[in-house]
A and B are shown apart, each in its own frame.
Chain A
Amino acid sequence: MYLAALIACGISGILILIRIILGKTTFDRVLAINTLGTIIVIGIALHGFYTGRPEFLDIAIVYALINFIGTVAVLKLFSAGSLGDVKK
């Protein structure tokens, strides 16, 4: 069952990767990267349970947090034009 879920994760990862590479606007790509991060979080959890060592769930949590920070940073850059104070 875990293997089937892992394969499904892999297939959706490939589809998201195609969207990242072909993506029309940058926002499509940002969204696709965020989704890829979520897929990777699920993949880490599934891989942990598949190999019988679910202790690695901590890393999945770190991933989820980091993924959020990265997306927020990109979107803040779009809305504010910079991170921090750029004097022009």
Chain B
Amino acid sequence: MISELIINAFLVTVMLAIAIALLKTRTVIFTVILTSAYSLVAALMFITLDAVDVAFTEASVGAGISTVLFLAAMAYLPKKEEETIGNQFIPALSCIILGAILIWCSYDLPQIGLVSSPIHQHVAPDYILGSRNDIGIPNIVTSVLASYRGYDTFGETIVVFTAGIAVLVLLQNKKKISKDTKSKIKKKVGRNA
């Protein structure tokens, strides 16, 4: 128990150090690299909290794909960040107030792993007890995602698919299309003449 506390405290300290270094940096690529390191340590934190699936997602999406996407987008950016001008007092104040409210609210959260907390009372016992007989696969998370909450997962997939289509429509090469249509129009005009 004590060792777990020490590991968590160490990880939080490392994350805090990376966050402070992130604040200090003014180079874009270094920011991207530090964000990747932050995601790595955050995923380790999720593992110590027994949230293995979240850790998987954080490692692959947070540390892997988003780093590559940031780097791909970075080629379009200037190398140095401009110095911010103006008073930063009000943003700092709002951040501190928001953080204080969140910390204050966290005192009302049930203890981690407490059996009597609401999250373990509602439908979770039914899922855990009935998963093997109802669905027939050993992994409870998979059975919840694919069967008990199948329609939710289906809706999520549709939303992600729609977002992907929207991005493709927004990013398609408009010049090429306009040239093609122009040449078609020219041909039509030529035929008519």
Contact = CB atoms under 8 A, between A and B. Distances in A.
Contacts of B74: 77
B127 to A, nearest CB: 20
Interface range on chain A: under 10, 10 to 19, 20 to 34, or 35 or more? Answer: 35 or more
A13 B10 CA distance: 10
A1 interface: no
Interface string A45-67: 00100100000101100110111
Contact of B21 (A6, A20, A47): A20
Contacts, number: 91
Nearest to B53: A59
Instruction: Describe A's contact surface by its main secondary structure.
Output: helix
A84 B74 CA distance: 12
Interface of B: 3, 7, 10, 14, 17-18, 21, 27, 29-30, 32-34, 36-37, 40-41, 43-44, 47-48, 52, 55-56, 59-60, 63-64, 67-68, 71-72, 74-76
16 contacts: A3-B3, A14-B14, A21-B17, A40-B41, A43-B44, A44-B47, A47-B48, A59-B55, A62-B59, A62-B60, A63-B59, A66-B60, A73-B67, A74-B32, A74-B71, A77-B71
